[in-house]
Structure 1
Amino acid sequence: MRNSLMRITLRQLQVFRSVCKLLSYSRAAEAMSLTQPAVSLQIRQLEELIDQPLFEYVGKKLYLTAAAERLSEATTDIFQRLDELDMQLSDLRGSLKGQLRIAAESSAKYLTPHLLSAFQQRFPDVSPLLRVVNRAQIIRRLADNRDDLVIMSLVPEDMALEFMPFLNNPIVAVAPAEHPLCQIKAEELTLNDLQEYPLLIRESGSGTRKACEEFFQQKRVHFTRTMELNSHEAQCEGVMAGLGIAFLPRHAVYRELQTGDLRELPVKGLPLYRSWCLVHARGKRLSPVAQAFVNFIRTERDIISQIAKRFEVKKGIE
């Protein structure tokens, strides 16, 4: 290793990381309570130590150079290791402390906060950082090792991943209460009966959409009229507005089902069950906080069952 690299300070890396995140010297200075000349000086000293330019302006916009991209990766690793060390030292003192970086597929955003709340009651010094994204973004985040853990369904088979199923994710067909399909008895309503109505679907890359498309293909059902909406909330509002019917995770619409704004259609063969899974890259070194969350999900079945009951629709109300 070059001697000059050994003279890099953590403070310089903190300033560098802030500039990378904000792509602005002035905003980085404000975020770190420094003057802009102080930020410029730290970056200039860092560039001298690595003997490479780190940033360049194109027009009025700041861009990272190739050297900055490599340094950013190393900086992320360094600070992650320091976070792990802090957690390990806290563990030795008999307390669990640190940040839990977790990403959840968008349809899991209703469930995940309840899991994190239960976990934080057990470990109050843990600070969860939750990112909610769609399935395609989850897969990219897994490939880039952006998070400690991920909650998703339909775990991709072509990636080296460890996963633990922990709860059913029921996907149901919903319609407004006055819809003609709501008048058909449960034993008589089939998936084929739904084909003549407009179907509200999620955007490409959604896990719920992928699960439904695979299910429709398996059942040889084809919806000729579809409308794409980019969130479960938009689908829910669209159904209530009379734009069509939708297939949605019951966790996402349990309030509307309880109030009667939506009705779960008693379609033969539904709900479509998939499992929520806790996922991380195979061989990934989990931080003490992440390992504690894995252990919590694995062992606290009663707590998870109690959380799941909050999303059940009471009979006689739906």
Structure 2
Amino acid sequence: MHITLRQLAVFTEVLKSGSTTQASVVLSLSQSAVSAALADLEGQLGVKVFDRVGKRLVINEHGRLLYPKALAMLEQVGEIEQLFCHGAAALRIAASSTIGNYILPEMIGRYWKGFLDSQLELNVSNSQDVIAAVADLRVDLGLIEGPYHTRELVTQPWLEDELVVFAAPDDPLTQLPLTLEALANAPWILREPGSGTREVLEQLLLVHMPQFQLVMELGNSEAIKHAVRHGIGISCLSRRVVDEQLISGALVELKVPLPPLMRTLYLIHHRQKHISNALERFLSYCTL
């Protein structure tokens, strides 16, 4: 068997691009050369890696098995090419909203000061979207706000984070002895389903208030803070998200009659993802 790096590069690019035509443009090859390389690869393997549906190529079970290994091989070759260069590999990171907006910027700043030639792409979305991106190998690393266990992903604890319930300074709850009944009767503004914050909040707090009043769901923590500040309701977010407003007095923490609402943040990567030197270097900066 003599599988070539070009054949693997053609395979991965056809998968990403969706067609031999687009792959030929990206790889600066003729379409016939791309088709020939793909046919040679399938001949070497003895199986088809794409199903032909009309003029479309649709990845099959053999292609899905090959893709992460081909990607890892090409990344390792890229590292060999960079061994004697000062430039760093480009990293693709996906993070849930709280992490991407309020925790990672400081870490990325420290990382870039040490490696000015580095390239880093950061995508911020909710935890379910981050998990999907890691599972599909669209990113090198994911950072999420709750545990996620599946055979194809490696999940490891990262940081501890505290959630706090908060209200506007003139909210009546700030003047009352706070009970779970009073909290359940208050109007709540929460993150959307699929958010890591929402998922953990349901496990730690809302389970004690099965009849709580949900008046609004928002997909953005900043929007929630503004809604609470204008008296629409109360909410619960990471202390890191509301710390400045609590210090300034724009928002007031409500002391919940429960143990501290603590959660663990997690790092995730695909089990078959090659952990490059650049990624290991970035991870060394992911501490507070």
2:65 alignment counterpart: 70
SS of corresponding position for 2:161: strand
Match of 1:105 among 66, 90, 96: 96
SS of corresponding position for 1:81: helix
Match of 1:225 among 213, 225, 232: 213
1:163 alignment counterpart: 157
Give the Cα–Cα distance (whole angstroms) in 1 for the partners of residues 229 and 53 of structure 2: 48
1:43 alignment counterpart: 38
Give the Cα–Cα distance (whole angstroms) in 2 for the partners of residues 25 and 258 of structure 1: 57
Match of 1:125 among 112, 117, 120: 117
Counterpart of 1:252 in structure 2: which amino acid?
A: V
Give the Cα–Cα distance (whole angstroms) in 2 for the partners of residues 243 and 255 of structure 1: 20
User: Percent identical across equivalent pairs?
Assistant: 31
Q: For each residue in 1:69-113, what CA deviation from the matched residue of structure 2 results, as whole angstroms up to 9, or x when unmatched?
A: 2332331121233244456x35xx7x6832344332332111212
Give the Cα–Cα distance (whole angstroms) in 1 for the partners of residues 270 and 113 of structure 2: 27
| Larger CA deviation: 282-291 vs 27-36 | 282-291
Give the Cα–Cα distance (whole angstroms) in 1 for the partners of residues 40 and 272 of structure 2: 37
| Larger CA deviation: 224-233 vs 269-278 | 269-278
1:190/1:267 contact within 8 Å kept: no
Counterpart of 2:98 in structure 1: which amino acid?
A: S
1:11 alignment counterpart: 6
Match of 1:289 among 265, 272, 278: 278
Counterpart of 2:104 in structure 1: which amino acid?
A: T
Q: For each residue in 1:112-159, what CA deviation from the matched residue of structure 2 results, as whole angstroms up to 9, or x when unmatched?
A: 122112112112233333343433455566677776544334445888
TM-score (norm: length of structure 1): 0.68
SS of corresponding position for 1:296: coil
Give the Cα–Cα distance (whole angstroms) in 2 for the partners of residues 157 and 64 of structure 1: 26
1:164/1:279 contact within 8 Å kept: no
Counterpart of 1:76 in structure 2: which amino acid?
A: L
Counterpart of 1:264 in structure 2: which amino acid?
A: V
Give the Cα–Cα distance (whole angstroms) in 1 for the partners of residues 223 and 200 of structure 2: 19
Give the Cα–Cα distance (whole angstroms) in 1 for the partners of residues 273 and 29 of structure 2: 36
Give the Cα–Cα distance (whole angstroms) in 2 for the partners of residues 243 and 280 of structure 1: 39
2:158/2:264 contact within 8 Å kept: no
SS of corresponding position for 1:265: strand
Counterpart of 1:115 in structure 2: which amino acid?
A: M
Give the Cα–Cα distance (whole angstroms) in 2 for the partners of residues 171 and 140 of structure 1: 25
Using the TM superposition, give the Cα deviation of residue 249 of structure 1 relative to its aligned residue in structure 2, in angstroms. Answer: 1.9
Match of 1:267 among 255, 259, 273: 255
Distance 1:113 1:32, change over 3 A: farther
Give the Cα–Cα distance (whole angstroms) in 2 for the partners of residues 38 and 144 of structure 1: 27
- Are 1:114 and 2:106 counterparts? yes
Give the Cα–Cα distance (whole angstroms) in 2 for the partners of residues 119 and 155 of structure 1: 26
Counterpart of 2:252 in structure 1: which amino acid?
A: E
Aligned length: 283
| Larger CA deviation: 114-123 vs 130-139 | 130-139
Counterpart of 2:209 in structure 1: which amino acid?
A: V
Using the TM superposition, give the Cα deviation of residue 57 of structure 1 relative to its aligned residue in structure 2, in angstroms. Answer: 4.5
- Could you tell me which runs of 5 or more consecutive residues in structure 2 were left unpaired when the two chains were aligned: none
Using the TM superposition, give the Cα deviation of residue 231 of structure 1 relative to its aligned residue in structure 2, in angstroms. Answer: 4.0
